[in-house]
């Protein structure tokens, strides 16, 4: 079973993306996409339960981005 959550965010200086993963999840990825649908960053999530990822503005140009949390169990 695999679940995916899509959301969008605006980055100027930095953005914190909070997530919660059940203990049963084997693998989880946070993928960042530009508004053209190109994947520009992929982050493996190793923490189970509540966690967060900070995306710094120095990593991306200012703008609106999409992220997908992809997990399997």
For the stretch 5-14, pLDDT in tens is: 666 666 667 8
Q: How does strand 49-56 pair with strand 39-44?
A: unpaired
**What DSSP state is assigned to residue 26?**
-
For the stretch 17-66, pLDDT in tens is: 999 999 999 999 999 998 899 999 999 999 899 999 998 878 888 788 88
Q: How confident is the model at residue 1 (pLDDT cuts 50, 70, 90)?
A: very low
Say how far apart CA 9 and CA 67 lie, in whole Å. Answer: 8
Which pLDDT belongs to residue 28? 94
* Global confidence as pTM: 0.79
Q: How confident is the model at residue 72 (pLDDT cuts 50, 70, 90)?
A: confident
Q: Torsion-angle region of residue 56: left (phi > 0), alpha (psi -120 to 50) or beta?
A: beta
Token look-up 């997908």 returns: 68
């Amino acid at each position: 079973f695999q679940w995916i959550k899509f959301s969008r965010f605006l980055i100027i200086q930095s953005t914190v993306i909070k997530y919660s993963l059940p203990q049963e999840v084997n693998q989880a990825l946070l993928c960042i996409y530009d508004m053209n649908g190109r994947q520009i960053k992929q982050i493996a999530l190793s923490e189970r339960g509540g966690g967060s990822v900070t995306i710094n503005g120095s990593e991306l140009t200012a703008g609106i981005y999409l992220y997908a949390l992809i997990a399997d169990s």
